[in-house]
Chains A and B, each alone.
Chain A
Amino acid sequence: MLAVVVVFAIVLPFALNAAQLATATFVVIAAIGATGLNVVTGYAGQISLGHAAFLGVGAYTGAVLGADHGVTAFIWIPAAGVVAALLGAVVGPVALRLRGLYLAIVTLGLIFIAQHVFFNLDGLTGGPQGRAFPAVQLASFDFSPGQVLDLGGITIDSSGLYYFLGLILLAAATAFAWNLRRTRSGRAMVALREREAAAAVMGINVGRLKVTAFVVSSAMAGVSGALYGSYLSFAQPDQWSLLLSIQFIAAIIVGGLGTTAGPVLGCAVVFALPSLLKQLPFLPEEGSGGLSAGDLTSITYGLLIVAFLTLEPRGLVGIANRLRRTGNGSDVGSSVTPKLTVTTPEEAHP
């Protein structure tokens, strides 16, 4: 199964046209960040609306180091993760004091504060006009648009290079999250999600665990943001908005909260949506008023969140498992995806 997925992911770019490849690249890059959000929200059950702020911090770290100081991408990509993680470690203790929903509100505040800072730190972020982001340069690999890598007859263009770099980092992030889930910390996070007080009584240091989850999540968001900015090559501060955070939330819910494959599947749906919806025939031309593709995509994100949570809280992974079970007649998928619920509706409302 894993081998099939790996081969599919490697062969995929060669089967796509330029626009489709660009979408696939965004999906892969976003999936790194979604994997991070899945750790804090899916595993540890803490709602964070501040994910976009960490992506932004990662992106600007990459830009400042890579473009303004000429540091190599071998350093600025990891550094983006480290700086975002540090910010997570600073915000974490505030979150540590708060339970459940207060965290959602504090991270909502974080988004607006971060946007304010991004808009006003002209020297680093270019202010409201935005700034250019550096293309990745890894040793002899040049990721700038227009550059083509020739591997004995197989050519890979700039989008393809970003795709493969993103894929490698995504594989690393996914493997990390998958392993984390099985460690002591990972199981403690699930206990925290299911019942905070019970987890604390069992000897889990709830505060430290929340900060750990938050830091891991921020680090992945930072790396994702650095690549995202670099691939966009230009971004304004309002790129890192509440809407972006909600896209990530939609992605992990659609994919399946707390599952390993969920963030990737979810991103494939959520981050491919804008380009799919743009091709709908009934939409008016861009800028001519009426229903825009942007509005339609935001409406769809919102409805996807509502629909999946009410109809299939286990997401696409849950659907896949169910299909597999009915197909084989055996319970192969049961090792994955604990359901979120503690009480069933019948128990609560007899």
Chain B
Amino acid sequence: MSDFLITFPSRRRIEALAQKYSLLLPERQKASLIGELSGKRAGSSIEYQDRKDYVLGDDIRHIDWRAYARTDRLTIKLYREEICPTIDIIVDTSLSMSVTPEKSLRRTELAYLFYLLSLKIHAVTALYNLGENLQRFMNPLDLLSSKDTRQDTPLPILQCSPFVRRGGVKIMISDFLFPFSPAELIATFSAADCLILVQVLTAFEDDPGQGEFTRLVDAENRKFLDVVLNRATVEGYKKRLNNLRSELERRVRVAHGAFAFLRDVDSLDQLVQNLLTTGVINVK
């Protein structure tokens, strides 16, 4: 326990935040299991909601015979659906996520927070480690001891994975600094009921600041670029970064999701504030 606390001093804080906040899930859902929450759509729970005219194919067990006797019209009773949400938390474990220890820690903190928030609503929670390939893991804290792996681009891996084809909530924690099309990424998660994208960047990745001749090395493949961090270069980069974020945010919103951005140097309070502001979480 003590070793665990040394490497993850903010654990208690994360757990306290999980107690205080909850995930803000979307109204529309495609549940595959019966759960404890009531959904807004008609389902097969015992709680009567409404009736509708019978059409060929409806479940005949739900024909309201009393209403037929009264009206000579075949109608079907509609019951409030029970929601058992599925939450898939995809954590980017490529080498780019550990360019700084703080960035790696933020990723772990976010994964742990979302994991706790998921457990809180008794969601079926699955954790996925998106590195060289996609692997499921059970404990978000395993991220602290696992090694990040090289990843060229995660999209093909995601597109091939089976969980993206089912509904539920998808939460992806990444820096989104791989070459990709935001439209394609959002389309990959088109089956999700809710998509939450959380971008974690280092302070330099967010705002390089003007400087001198610098060699930028890609953490994934060790390619490098020599740039001069003059005003034009920095502004050009920030413009591209903002365009990426704007595009992601817009598309996620269209897909009834949320996009949050965090820096590795931000405090946990700032982290929570961002998540609240972007509608990822709300106060319980």
Is B one of A's binding partners? no
List residues of A whose CB falls within 8 A of some B CB: none
